[in-house]
Structure 1
Protein backbone atom coordinates (compact mmCIF):
# COMPACT_ATOMS: atom_id res chain seq x y z
CA UNK A 1 0.00 0.00 0.00
CA UNK A 2 1.16 3.53 -0.77
CA UNK A 3 2.59 5.37 2.24
CA UNK A 4 1.62 8.96 2.86
CA UNK A 5 4.14 11.76 2.45
CA UNK A 6 4.44 11.99 6.22
CA UNK A 7 5.10 8.27 6.56
CA UNK A 8 7.71 8.45 3.81
CA UNK A 9 9.47 11.39 5.45
CA UNK A 10 9.53 9.75 8.88
CA UNK A 11 10.87 6.55 7.36
CA UNK A 12 13.75 8.25 5.56
CA UNK A 13 14.80 11.28 7.62
CA UNK A 14 16.18 11.62 11.14
CA UNK A 15 14.04 14.72 11.68
CA UNK A 16 11.06 16.18 9.89
CA UNK A 17 10.56 19.93 10.18
CA UNK A 18 7.17 21.61 10.18
CA UNK A 19 5.43 24.91 9.74
CA UNK A 20 2.10 25.76 11.36
CA UNK A 21 -1.00 27.39 9.91
CA UNK A 22 -3.49 29.13 12.21
CA UNK A 23 -5.74 31.01 9.78
CA UNK A 24 -7.14 30.78 6.25
CA UNK A 25 -4.37 31.59 3.78
CA UNK A 26 -3.68 30.74 0.17
CA UNK A 27 0.04 31.48 0.43
CA UNK A 28 1.23 30.31 3.87
CA UNK A 29 1.20 26.54 3.33
CA UNK A 30 2.81 26.84 -0.09
CA UNK A 31 5.49 29.17 1.30
CA UNK A 32 6.44 26.53 3.89
CA UNK A 33 6.43 23.86 1.16
CA UNK A 34 8.62 25.91 -1.18
CA UNK A 35 11.02 26.70 1.68
CA UNK A 36 11.71 22.98 2.06
CA UNK A 37 9.68 22.16 5.17
CA UNK A 38 8.71 18.50 5.48
CA UNK A 39 5.18 19.06 6.74
CA UNK A 40 2.57 21.71 7.36
CA UNK A 41 0.28 21.55 10.38
CA UNK A 42 -3.20 23.06 10.35
CA UNK A 43 -4.47 24.19 13.74
CA UNK A 44 -8.18 23.58 14.25
CA UNK A 45 -7.76 23.74 18.02
CA UNK A 46 -6.40 27.27 18.49
CA UNK A 47 -6.48 28.56 14.93
CA UNK A 48 -9.25 30.26 12.96
CA UNK A 49 -9.83 27.41 10.56
CA UNK A 50 -13.01 25.62 9.51
CA UNK A 51 -13.32 22.22 7.86
CA UNK A 52 -13.75 24.00 4.54
CA UNK A 53 -10.60 26.08 5.06
CA UNK A 54 -8.55 22.98 5.85
CA UNK A 55 -9.97 21.03 2.90
CA UNK A 56 -9.17 23.84 0.46
CA UNK A 57 -5.62 24.26 1.73
CA UNK A 58 -4.99 20.52 1.69
CA UNK A 59 -6.11 20.41 -1.94
CA UNK A 60 -3.78 23.28 -2.85
CA UNK A 61 -0.85 21.25 -1.51
CA UNK A 62 -1.75 18.19 -3.56
CA UNK A 63 0.92 18.89 -6.17
CA UNK A 64 3.71 19.70 -3.72
CA UNK A 65 5.97 17.30 -1.82
CA UNK A 66 5.00 18.55 1.64
CA UNK A 67 3.18 16.33 4.15
CA UNK A 68 0.20 17.50 6.18
CA UNK A 69 -1.21 17.07 9.68
CA UNK A 70 -4.23 18.63 11.39
CA UNK A 71 -4.41 19.41 15.10
CA UNK A 72 -7.85 18.84 16.59
CA UNK A 73 -9.08 19.71 20.10
CA UNK A 74 -10.28 16.21 20.97
CA UNK A 75 -10.94 12.66 19.83
CA UNK A 76 -14.43 13.18 18.40
CA UNK A 77 -14.76 10.85 15.44
CA UNK A 78 -16.67 13.16 13.07
CA UNK A 79 -14.15 16.04 12.77
CA UNK A 80 -11.25 13.57 12.64
CA UNK A 81 -12.94 11.70 9.81
CA UNK A 82 -13.63 14.89 7.88
CA UNK A 83 -10.02 16.09 7.80
CA UNK A 84 -8.81 12.60 6.86
CA UNK A 85 -11.42 12.38 4.10
CA UNK A 86 -10.09 15.74 2.88
CA UNK A 87 -6.62 14.22 2.54
CA UNK A 88 -4.65 14.99 5.71
CA UNK A 89 -1.75 12.60 6.24
CA UNK A 90 -2.26 12.59 9.99
CA UNK A 91 -3.99 14.05 13.01
CA UNK A 92 -2.58 15.51 16.23
CA UNK A 93 -5.08 15.17 19.06
CA UNK A 94 -4.72 17.80 21.78
CA UNK A 95 -4.89 17.41 25.56
CA UNK A 96 -4.65 13.62 25.74
CA UNK A 97 -4.41 12.67 29.41
CA UNK A 98 -5.34 8.98 29.49
CA UNK A 99 -4.80 5.81 27.52
CA UNK A 100 -8.56 5.70 26.96
CA UNK A 101 -8.51 9.07 25.21
CA UNK A 102 -5.57 7.97 23.06
CA UNK A 103 -7.45 4.80 22.15
CA UNK A 104 -10.48 6.85 21.15
CA UNK A 105 -8.28 8.95 18.86
CA UNK A 106 -6.90 5.86 17.16
CA UNK A 107 -10.39 4.32 16.80
CA UNK A 108 -11.61 7.50 15.06
CA UNK A 109 -9.03 6.93 12.30
CA UNK A 110 -9.84 3.24 11.72
CA UNK A 111 -12.77 1.65 9.93
CA UNK A 112 -14.73 -1.23 11.44
CA UNK A 113 -13.94 -3.70 12.86
CA UNK A 114 -10.79 -1.89 14.05
CA UNK A 115 -12.44 1.42 14.85
CA UNK A 116 -15.39 3.76 14.37
CA UNK A 117 -14.39 5.91 11.38
CA UNK A 118 -17.24 6.41 8.94
CA UNK A 119 -16.50 5.70 5.27
CA UNK A 120 -16.75 8.81 3.11
CA UNK A 121 -13.79 9.33 0.74
CA UNK A 122 -13.67 12.77 -0.88
CA UNK A 123 -10.34 12.83 -2.69
CA UNK A 124 -10.28 11.04 -6.02
CA UNK A 125 -6.49 10.96 -5.97
CA UNK A 126 -6.54 8.88 -2.76
CA UNK A 127 -8.87 6.23 -4.12
CA UNK A 128 -11.73 4.43 -2.42
CA UNK A 129 -10.08 1.35 -0.89
CA UNK A 130 -10.72 1.42 2.89
CA UNK A 131 -7.50 -0.48 3.63
CA UNK A 132 -5.43 2.04 1.68
CA UNK A 133 -7.22 5.05 3.16
CA UNK A 134 -6.74 3.70 6.68
CA UNK A 135 -3.13 2.62 6.28
CA UNK A 136 -1.92 6.08 5.23
CA UNK A 137 -3.10 7.79 8.44
CA UNK A 138 -0.70 8.78 11.22
CA UNK A 139 -2.03 9.48 14.72
CA UNK A 140 -0.26 11.61 17.33
CA UNK A 141 -1.45 12.04 20.90
CA UNK A 142 -0.50 15.35 22.50
CA UNK A 143 0.83 15.09 26.03
CA UNK A 144 0.73 18.60 27.43
CA UNK A 145 -0.51 18.42 31.01
CA UNK A 146 0.78 17.12 34.31
CA UNK A 147 -1.95 14.47 34.23
CA UNK A 148 -0.88 13.36 30.77
CA UNK A 149 2.73 13.26 31.93
CA UNK A 150 1.77 10.93 34.79
CA UNK A 151 0.07 8.60 32.31
CA UNK A 152 2.74 8.85 29.59
CA UNK A 153 3.75 5.17 29.67
CA UNK A 154 0.12 4.01 29.48
CA UNK A 155 -0.65 6.44 26.65
CA UNK A 156 2.41 5.34 24.68
CA UNK A 157 1.34 1.70 25.01
CA UNK A 158 -1.91 2.28 23.07
CA UNK A 159 -1.84 0.25 19.82
CA UNK A 160 -2.09 2.23 16.61
CA UNK A 161 -0.40 5.43 17.72
CA UNK A 162 2.28 6.78 15.41
CA UNK A 163 3.76 9.13 17.94
CA UNK A 164 3.52 11.49 20.87
CA UNK A 165 3.51 15.24 20.36
CA UNK A 166 4.54 17.48 23.26
CA UNK A 167 2.88 20.84 23.90
CA UNK A 168 5.47 22.61 26.10
CA UNK A 169 3.43 25.76 26.84
CA UNK A 170 0.40 23.97 28.26
CA UNK A 171 2.67 21.50 30.01
CA UNK A 172 4.45 24.36 31.76
CA UNK A 173 1.17 25.99 32.78
CA UNK A 174 -0.23 22.73 34.17
CA UNK A 175 2.90 22.38 36.30
CA UNK A 176 2.50 25.87 37.73
CA UNK A 177 4.98 27.76 35.53
CA UNK A 178 4.67 30.57 33.01
CA UNK A 179 4.68 29.23 29.42
CA UNK A 180 7.64 31.48 28.59
CA UNK A 181 9.71 29.37 31.00
CA UNK A 182 8.97 26.08 29.25
CA UNK A 183 12.57 25.84 28.02
CA UNK A 184 14.30 27.17 31.14
CA UNK A 185 12.40 25.70 34.09
CA UNK A 186 14.12 22.40 35.02
CA UNK A 187 10.90 20.75 36.17
CA UNK A 188 9.37 21.35 32.74
CA UNK A 189 12.42 20.41 30.70
CA UNK A 190 12.74 17.22 32.75
CA UNK A 191 9.08 16.45 31.99
CA UNK A 192 9.63 17.03 28.27
CA UNK A 193 12.61 14.66 28.36
CA UNK A 194 10.56 12.04 30.25
CA UNK A 195 7.82 12.14 27.63
CA UNK A 196 10.37 11.71 24.85
CA UNK A 197 11.88 8.71 26.64
CA UNK A 198 8.46 7.14 27.06
CA UNK A 199 7.77 7.56 23.34
CA UNK A 200 11.15 6.11 22.38
CA UNK A 201 10.70 3.13 24.69
CA UNK A 202 7.38 2.37 22.98
CA UNK A 203 8.87 2.74 19.50
CA UNK A 204 6.88 5.89 18.77
CA UNK A 205 7.87 9.11 17.01
CA UNK A 206 8.54 11.95 19.44
CA UNK A 207 7.19 15.27 18.19
CA UNK A 208 7.09 18.73 19.73
CA UNK A 209 6.21 22.39 19.18
CA UNK A 210 9.56 24.26 19.20
CA UNK A 211 8.57 27.80 18.25
CA UNK A 212 11.91 28.71 16.70
CA UNK A 213 14.72 27.29 14.62
CA UNK A 214 17.22 27.60 17.44
CA UNK A 215 15.02 25.66 19.84
CA UNK A 216 14.24 23.15 17.11
CA UNK A 217 17.93 22.38 16.69
CA UNK A 218 18.28 21.83 20.44
CA UNK A 219 15.29 19.50 20.50
CA UNK A 220 16.59 17.53 17.54
CA UNK A 221 19.82 16.89 19.42
CA UNK A 222 17.70 15.65 22.33
CA UNK A 223 16.02 13.03 20.18
CA UNK A 224 12.83 14.63 18.94
CA UNK A 225 12.04 13.72 15.35
CA UNK A 226 8.92 15.69 14.36
CA UNK A 227 9.53 19.35 15.17
CA UNK A 228 7.28 22.30 14.40
CA UNK A 229 9.42 25.41 14.05
CA UNK A 230 7.05 28.32 13.54
CA UNK A 231 3.56 29.42 12.58
CA UNK A 232 2.84 31.49 9.50
CA UNK A 233 2.36 34.57 11.71
CA UNK A 234 5.71 34.02 13.44
CA UNK A 235 7.45 33.57 10.09
CA UNK A 236 5.79 36.66 8.63
CA UNK A 237 6.58 38.79 11.68
CA UNK A 238 10.22 37.73 11.65
CA UNK A 239 10.60 38.37 7.93
CA UNK A 240 8.77 41.70 8.08
CA UNK A 241 10.94 42.91 10.95
CA UNK A 242 14.10 41.88 9.11
CA UNK A 243 13.09 43.71 5.94
CA UNK A 244 12.24 46.87 7.89
CA UNK A 245 15.55 46.73 9.77
CA UNK A 246 17.42 46.37 6.49
CA UNK A 247 15.60 49.32 4.97
CA UNK A 248 16.00 51.66 7.94
CA UNK A 249 19.40 50.51 9.09
CA UNK A 250 18.12 49.80 12.60
CA UNK A 251 19.44 46.78 14.50
Structure 2
Protein backbone atom coordinates (compact mmCIF):
# COMPACT_ATOMS: atom_id res chain seq x y z
CA UNK A 1 0.00 0.00 0.00
CA UNK A 2 2.85 2.40 0.86
CA UNK A 3 4.54 1.68 -2.46
CA UNK A 4 1.28 2.26 -4.33
CA UNK A 5 0.68 5.56 -2.53
CA UNK A 6 4.27 6.70 -3.13
CA UNK A 7 4.08 5.82 -6.82
CA UNK A 8 0.78 7.65 -7.19
CA UNK A 9 2.14 10.71 -5.37
CA UNK A 10 5.24 10.75 -7.59
CA UNK A 11 3.08 10.50 -10.70
CA UNK A 12 0.88 13.40 -9.57
CA UNK A 13 3.91 15.56 -8.77
CA UNK A 14 5.55 14.78 -12.12
CA UNK A 15 2.30 15.45 -13.99
CA UNK A 16 1.89 18.77 -12.16
CA UNK A 17 5.46 19.75 -12.99
CA UNK A 18 5.08 18.76 -16.65
CA UNK A 19 1.90 20.86 -16.86
CA UNK A 20 3.76 23.84 -15.40
CA UNK A 21 6.53 23.13 -17.91
CA UNK A 22 3.97 23.38 -20.71
CA UNK A 23 3.00 26.83 -19.43
CA UNK A 24 6.68 27.78 -19.13
CA UNK A 25 7.05 27.01 -22.85
CA UNK A 26 4.24 29.50 -23.51
CA UNK A 27 5.87 32.16 -21.32
CA UNK A 28 9.29 31.68 -22.92
CA UNK A 29 7.85 31.99 -26.43
CA UNK A 30 5.35 34.80 -25.88
CA UNK A 31 6.77 37.10 -23.19
CA UNK A 32 9.81 38.32 -25.19
CA UNK A 33 7.52 38.81 -28.21
CA UNK A 34 5.16 40.99 -26.20
CA UNK A 35 2.24 38.59 -26.75
CA UNK A 36 -0.33 37.73 -24.07
CA UNK A 37 0.54 34.53 -22.22
CA UNK A 38 -3.15 33.84 -21.63
CA UNK A 39 -4.80 34.39 -25.00
CA UNK A 40 -5.01 32.93 -27.58
CA UNK A 41 -4.81 29.29 -26.39
CA UNK A 42 -1.91 27.08 -27.49
CA UNK A 43 -1.75 26.69 -31.27
CA UNK A 44 0.55 25.74 -34.10
CA UNK A 45 2.79 28.76 -34.88
CA UNK A 46 2.65 27.96 -38.59
CA UNK A 47 -1.00 27.19 -39.45
CA UNK A 48 -2.44 28.68 -36.22
CA UNK A 49 -4.52 25.55 -35.59
CA UNK A 50 -5.67 25.50 -31.96
CA UNK A 51 -4.37 22.42 -30.18
CA UNK A 52 -7.00 19.99 -28.96
CA UNK A 53 -7.03 18.48 -25.48
CA UNK A 54 -5.30 15.31 -26.64
CA UNK A 55 -2.62 17.28 -28.50
CA UNK A 56 -1.91 19.54 -25.53
CA UNK A 57 -1.06 16.82 -23.00
CA UNK A 58 2.49 17.49 -21.71
CA UNK A 59 5.14 15.19 -23.25
CA UNK A 60 2.57 12.60 -24.39
CA UNK A 61 0.91 15.03 -26.79
CA UNK A 62 4.19 15.59 -28.65
CA UNK A 63 4.87 11.84 -28.77
CA UNK A 64 1.35 11.16 -30.01
CA UNK A 65 1.78 13.69 -32.82
CA UNK A 66 5.29 12.30 -33.57
CA UNK A 67 6.70 15.81 -33.33
CA UNK A 68 4.55 17.30 -36.11
CA UNK A 69 1.39 19.39 -36.34
CA UNK A 70 -1.57 17.14 -37.16
CA UNK A 71 -2.92 19.67 -39.69
CA UNK A 72 0.00 21.27 -41.55
CA UNK A 73 2.65 18.68 -40.56
CA UNK A 74 5.12 21.38 -39.52
CA UNK A 75 7.80 20.12 -37.16
CA UNK A 76 7.25 20.82 -33.46
CA UNK A 77 10.52 21.56 -31.67
CA UNK A 78 11.70 18.75 -29.40
CA UNK A 79 12.49 21.40 -26.79
CA UNK A 80 8.82 21.60 -25.82
CA UNK A 81 8.52 18.05 -24.41
CA UNK A 82 12.06 18.28 -23.00
CA UNK A 83 11.14 21.39 -20.97
CA UNK A 84 7.95 19.71 -19.78
CA UNK A 85 9.80 16.55 -18.74
CA UNK A 86 12.61 18.58 -17.10
CA UNK A 87 10.10 20.61 -15.08
CA UNK A 88 8.36 17.41 -13.98
CA UNK A 89 11.73 16.00 -12.86
CA UNK A 90 12.59 19.20 -10.99
CA UNK A 91 9.26 19.05 -9.17
CA UNK A 92 9.98 15.45 -8.22
CA UNK A 93 13.48 16.27 -6.93
CA UNK A 94 12.11 19.10 -4.78
CA UNK A 95 9.33 16.85 -3.49
CA UNK A 96 11.79 14.07 -2.61
CA UNK A 97 14.02 16.56 -0.78
CA UNK A 98 11.42 18.51 1.19
CA UNK A 99 8.34 16.26 1.22
CA UNK A 100 4.89 17.69 1.85
CA UNK A 101 5.84 21.13 3.16
CA UNK A 102 5.62 24.83 2.45
CA UNK A 103 9.25 24.70 1.29
CA UNK A 104 8.25 22.33 -1.49
CA UNK A 105 5.59 24.71 -2.80
CA UNK A 106 7.98 27.65 -2.57
CA UNK A 107 10.82 25.93 -4.38
CA UNK A 108 8.43 24.71 -7.08
CA UNK A 109 7.58 28.35 -7.75
CA UNK A 110 11.20 29.49 -7.49
CA UNK A 111 12.54 26.79 -9.84
CA UNK A 112 9.78 27.49 -12.37
CA UNK A 113 10.78 31.16 -12.46
CA UNK A 114 14.45 30.20 -12.82
CA UNK A 115 13.76 27.81 -15.69
CA UNK A 116 11.66 30.36 -17.59
CA UNK A 117 14.29 33.07 -17.12
CA UNK A 118 17.12 30.74 -18.16
CA UNK A 119 15.40 29.73 -21.39
CA UNK A 120 14.53 33.33 -22.28
CA UNK A 121 18.14 34.37 -21.62
CA UNK A 122 19.41 31.58 -23.85
CA UNK A 123 17.01 32.62 -26.62
CA UNK A 124 17.22 36.41 -26.45
CA UNK A 125 20.14 37.33 -24.14
CA UNK A 126 17.64 39.22 -21.96
CA UNK A 127 16.06 38.70 -18.54
CA UNK A 128 12.62 40.38 -18.54
CA UNK A 129 11.91 42.71 -15.63
CA UNK A 130 8.39 41.31 -15.40
CA UNK A 131 9.82 37.98 -14.28
CA UNK A 132 12.76 39.11 -12.16
CA UNK A 133 10.78 41.76 -10.27
CA UNK A 134 7.73 39.55 -9.72
CA UNK A 135 10.02 36.70 -8.65
CA UNK A 136 11.74 38.98 -6.13
CA UNK A 137 8.42 40.16 -4.68
CA UNK A 138 7.08 36.61 -4.40
CA UNK A 139 10.30 35.52 -2.69
CA UNK A 140 9.92 38.17 0.00
CA UNK A 141 6.25 37.39 0.54
CA UNK A 142 6.97 33.67 0.66
CA UNK A 143 9.56 34.23 3.38
CA UNK A 144 6.94 35.86 5.61
CA UNK A 145 4.22 33.30 4.82
CA UNK A 146 6.54 30.34 5.41
CA UNK A 147 7.64 31.81 8.74
CA UNK A 148 4.06 32.26 9.89
CA UNK A 149 3.02 28.76 8.79
CA UNK A 150 5.80 27.08 10.77
CA UNK A 151 4.74 29.26 13.71
CA UNK A 152 8.11 30.86 14.21
CA UNK A 153 8.34 33.65 16.80
CA UNK A 154 7.71 37.13 15.42
CA UNK A 155 11.35 38.07 15.83
CA UNK A 156 12.28 34.93 13.88
CA UNK A 157 9.99 35.90 11.00
CA UNK A 158 11.46 39.40 11.00
CA UNK A 159 15.00 37.97 10.98
CA UNK A 160 14.29 35.73 8.00
CA UNK A 161 12.59 38.56 6.13
CA UNK A 162 15.54 40.88 6.76
CA UNK A 163 17.92 38.16 5.59
CA UNK A 164 16.02 38.04 2.30
CA UNK A 165 15.90 41.82 1.98
CA UNK A 166 19.64 42.05 2.62
CA UNK A 167 20.15 39.21 0.14
CA UNK A 168 18.21 41.08 -2.54
CA UNK A 169 20.17 44.30 -1.94
CA UNK A 170 23.49 42.44 -1.89
CA UNK A 171 22.61 40.62 -5.07
CA UNK A 172 22.02 43.74 -7.10
CA UNK A 173 24.99 45.60 -5.55
CA UNK A 174 27.51 42.79 -6.03
CA UNK A 175 26.57 42.03 -9.62
CA UNK A 176 26.31 45.70 -10.55
CA UNK A 177 29.86 46.06 -9.22
CA UNK A 178 31.02 43.01 -11.18
CA UNK A 179 29.43 44.46 -14.31
CA UNK A 180 31.09 47.85 -13.75
CA UNK A 181 34.62 46.62 -13.05
CA UNK A 182 34.35 43.89 -15.67
CA UNK A 183 33.35 46.45 -18.29
CA UNK A 184 36.27 48.68 -17.34
CA UNK A 185 38.70 45.75 -17.56
CA UNK A 186 37.37 44.33 -20.82
CA UNK A 187 36.49 47.56 -22.58
CA UNK A 188 32.97 46.27 -23.30
CA UNK A 189 29.83 45.33 -21.39
CA UNK A 190 30.75 42.43 -19.11
CA UNK A 191 27.28 41.67 -17.80
CA UNK A 192 23.74 42.76 -18.56
CA UNK A 193 21.58 44.72 -16.13
CA UNK A 194 19.16 41.80 -15.95
CA UNK A 195 21.78 39.59 -14.28
CA UNK A 196 21.96 41.89 -11.24
CA UNK A 197 18.16 41.88 -11.00
CA UNK A 198 18.12 38.08 -11.19
CA UNK A 199 20.75 37.98 -8.43
CA UNK A 200 18.49 40.20 -6.33
CA UNK A 201 15.67 37.73 -6.91
CA UNK A 202 17.95 34.90 -5.76
CA UNK A 203 18.75 36.86 -2.61
CA UNK A 204 15.05 37.35 -1.90
CA UNK A 205 14.47 33.60 -2.05
CA UNK A 206 17.70 32.25 -0.53
CA UNK A 207 18.83 34.94 1.90
CA UNK A 208 22.19 36.69 1.82
CA UNK A 209 24.30 33.70 2.92
CA UNK A 210 23.03 31.30 0.29
CA UNK A 211 22.99 34.07 -2.32
CA UNK A 212 26.76 34.37 -1.91
CA UNK A 213 27.15 30.62 -2.38
CA UNK A 214 24.85 30.54 -5.43
CA UNK A 215 26.68 33.51 -6.95
CA UNK A 216 30.08 31.89 -6.38
CA UNK A 217 28.91 28.62 -7.94
CA UNK A 218 27.45 30.51 -10.91
CA UNK A 219 30.71 32.38 -11.52
CA UNK A 220 32.81 29.21 -11.14
CA UNK A 221 30.62 27.14 -13.47
CA UNK A 222 30.33 30.00 -15.96
CA UNK A 223 34.10 30.54 -16.01
CA UNK A 224 34.74 26.82 -16.49
CA UNK A 225 32.22 26.39 -19.31
CA UNK A 226 33.07 29.72 -20.94
CA UNK A 227 36.80 29.01 -20.78
CA UNK A 228 36.25 25.54 -22.21
CA UNK A 229 34.09 26.92 -25.04
CA UNK A 230 36.78 29.47 -25.92
CA UNK A 231 39.51 26.82 -25.82
CA UNK A 232 37.47 24.60 -28.16
CA UNK A 233 36.75 27.48 -30.52
CA UNK A 234 33.02 27.40 -29.86
CA UNK A 235 33.09 30.98 -28.55
CA UNK A 236 35.42 33.88 -29.26
CA UNK A 237 36.94 35.88 -26.42
CA UNK A 238 34.70 38.87 -27.16
CA UNK A 239 31.52 36.88 -27.77
CA UNK A 240 28.71 37.38 -25.28
CA UNK A 241 27.36 34.46 -23.28
CA UNK A 242 24.11 34.44 -21.25
CA UNK A 243 24.84 34.34 -17.53
CA UNK A 244 21.28 33.85 -16.29
CA UNK A 245 21.36 30.05 -16.71
CA UNK A 246 24.50 29.87 -14.57
CA UNK A 247 22.87 31.90 -11.80
CA UNK A 248 19.86 29.58 -12.00
CA UNK A 249 22.11 26.51 -11.83
CA UNK A 250 23.99 27.96 -8.85
CA UNK A 251 20.69 28.55 -7.07
CA UNK A 252 19.46 25.05 -7.93
CA UNK A 253 22.60 23.45 -6.49
CA UNK A 254 22.31 25.64 -3.39
CA UNK A 255 18.72 24.55 -2.76
CA UNK A 256 19.72 20.89 -2.58
CA UNK A 257 23.32 20.98 -1.35
CA UNK A 258 23.89 24.44 0.12
CA UNK A 259 24.11 23.29 3.74
CA UNK A 260 26.50 20.44 2.88
CA UNK A 261 28.74 22.70 0.78
CA UNK A 262 28.96 25.37 3.46
CA UNK A 263 29.60 22.79 6.19
CA UNK A 264 32.44 21.26 4.14
CA UNK A 265 33.87 24.72 3.49
CA UNK A 266 33.90 25.69 7.18
CA UNK A 267 35.46 22.33 8.14
CA UNK A 268 38.21 23.01 5.61
CA UNK A 269 38.84 26.59 6.75
CA UNK A 270 38.38 26.02 10.50
CA UNK A 271 39.33 22.36 11.05
CA UNK A 272 39.95 22.80 14.79
CA UNK A 273 36.46 24.18 15.55
What TM-score bracket applies, with the shorter chain setting the length? under 0.3
Tell me the TM-score normalized by structure 2. Answer: 0.24
Pair member with larger Rg: 2
**TM-score, normalised by the number of residues in structure 1:** 0.25
Higher helix share: 2
Q: Counting strand residues as a fraction of each chain, which structure ranks higher?
A: 1
